[in-house]
Structure 1
Amino acid sequence: MTQNTRPAPFFVAESPALDFLNSVAAPRSERYDWLETGPDLLDWLIAAGLASESELAPFRKVATASALEEARQEIVTFRERFRPFVEEVCGSQLTDAAHPVIAEINAILARGARFLEIAPATRSDDPASQPLVLLDRHPLTEPRDLIVRIAFAAARLIAEADFRYVRNCEGPTCTLYFLDISKNHKRRWCSMEVCGNRAKAAAYRKR
């Protein structure tokens, strides 16, 4: 699928880890993959808020193309192992930390560089806010570090989300996942614009 015919990636999941799963999807009966190439991966990471353009600029150089492609392949392979894990545990309460995918995520996290840094706080209108903050940094020194950002997002989902509210869109051909953070936990669709309105139209025609 070329970029000219591919729609923009979907960020409807309320979780970067689930958005990662949604980086390959068939929301309109046609399969799209937003991680087809190394540059695709870099663009997606920026759009997902998992990295900045300044961090990824060194990886856009021709000299890193081979390493970037290796990193992309590792990330796509991890995506396809993470998917059945989410399929298995969504809709239930996750309590087992011995799952092989969790062990894999821990191994990825362990290989990433990390340090704490005191830095100026972002601008705030609250006069009582602290001028300095402690930031948890995960530097990207080479393309193989990119998967650490994704593993961190997956780890946060596993440790912090209630998997009873991790759901697959009810659209008959939609593959998108989301975390239902609505007040009554009644969300059914990836979005009303994509699948909700289509379902309403189908119900109307049936009536």
Structure 2
Amino acid sequence: MTQDHRPAPIFVGESPALDFLNSIAMPRSVLYDWLEAGPGLLDWFVAAGLAAESELAPFRKADAAPALEGARQEIVALRERFRTFIEEAGGSPLTDPEHPIIAEINAILTRGARFQQIAPTTEGDTQSLILVDKHPLTDPSDLIVRIATAAAHLIAEADFHYVRNCEGPTCTLFFLDISKNHKRRWCSMEVCGNRAKAAAYRKR
């Protein structure tokens, strides 16, 4: 599927790390991979809120293409290893602190320059200051650090009881169930939820 005919990326995961897994998906019997080329990878980073276009502009230049492709291949390989981890760990407490993916993520997090800054934030009508981590993107190889950071937050902060795969029979999408009663079953009611309702109706 070419970039020009691809639908917008899917963000139903309630976690950037799970949206990363969902960057390859088959929502309507067609497989889409939003990371299959360097420009698509950069577009996905912007859409996911993991980078600003101004940060990525240098990586869109022709002379950056080889480094960008190398970074893309590393990111895609991590995506599939992280998918295996989520498939194994989702739906139950996370009990293996020595899992290889955790060591891999920790190793990635040591890469590149990092610093902290005090920055303003607004919640409702209230303004305050927060301490934020910064990781400048000086080379395409730095992109994977932002993915690893998102994955680390999921692993360290999420209740893995509520990390789930959509129950749609052919759906590949993952999500973190943050609903009040933790009864979410579908990537979205508009897609798989309505299909399930229609199938149940036909069966009755």
TM-score range, shorter chain: over 0.9
TM-score, normalising length: structure 1: 0.94
Residues 1:40 and 2:40 aligned together = yes
Aligned equivalent of 1:161, options 158, 163, 172: 158
Residues 1:76 and 2:76 aligned together = yes
Q: Are residues 158 and 66 of structure 1, via their aligned partners in 2, closer, same or farther at CA, if it must alter by over 3 Å?
A: same
Aligned to 2:26: 26
Deviation string 1:114-138 (CA, Å, 9 cap, x unpaired) is: 101234x145622xx43x4432111
Determine helix, strand or coil for the equivalent of 1:118. strand
Name stretches of at least 5 consecutive residues in structure 1 with no aligned partner. none
- Please say which of residues 194-203 and 150-159 is displaced more in the overlay: 194-203
Aligned to 2:201: 204
Deviation string 1:118-168 (CA, Å, 9 cap, x unpaired) is: 34x145622xx43x4432111110000000000000000000000110000
Q: Distance in 2 between matches of 1:182 and 1:24?
A: 24
Aligned to 1:96: 96
The Cα of 1:5 is off from its aligned counterpart by 2.8
The amino acid of 1:64's aligned partner reads A
Q: Distance in 2 between matches of 1:205 and 1:178?
A: 27
TM-score, normalising length: structure 2: 0.96
Q: Distance in 2 between matches of 1:154 and 1:45?
A: 14
- Please say which of residues 12-21 and 91-100 is displaced more in the overlay: 91-100
- Please say which of residues 39-48 and 110-119 is displaced more in the overlay: 110-119
Aligned to 2:192: 195
The amino acid of 2:6's aligned partner reads R
Q: Distance in 2 between matches of 1:182 and 1:200?
A: 20
- Please say which of residues 158-167 and 90-99 is displaced more in the overlay: 90-99
Aligned equivalent of 1:140, options 130, 137, 148: 137
The amino acid of 1:60's aligned partner reads R
Aligned equivalent of 1:174, options 155, 166, 171: 171
Asked if the contact 2:3–2:40 (Cα under 8 Å) also holds between the matched residues in 1, the reply is no
Deviation string 1:85-116 (CA, Å, 9 cap, x unpaired) is: 00000011013210000000000001131101
Q: Distance in 1 between matches of 2:180 and 2:140?
A: 39
Determine helix, strand or coil for the equivalent of 2:92. coil
Q: Distance in 1 between matches of 2:122 and 2:93?
A: 38
Q: Distance in 1 between matches of 2:121 and 2:156?
A: 27
**Residues 3-18 of structure 1 aligned to structure 2 (within 5 Å):** 3-18=3-18
Aligned residues: percent identity? 77
Over the aligned positions, Cα root-mean-square deviation in angstroms equals 1.2
Aligned to 1:149: 146
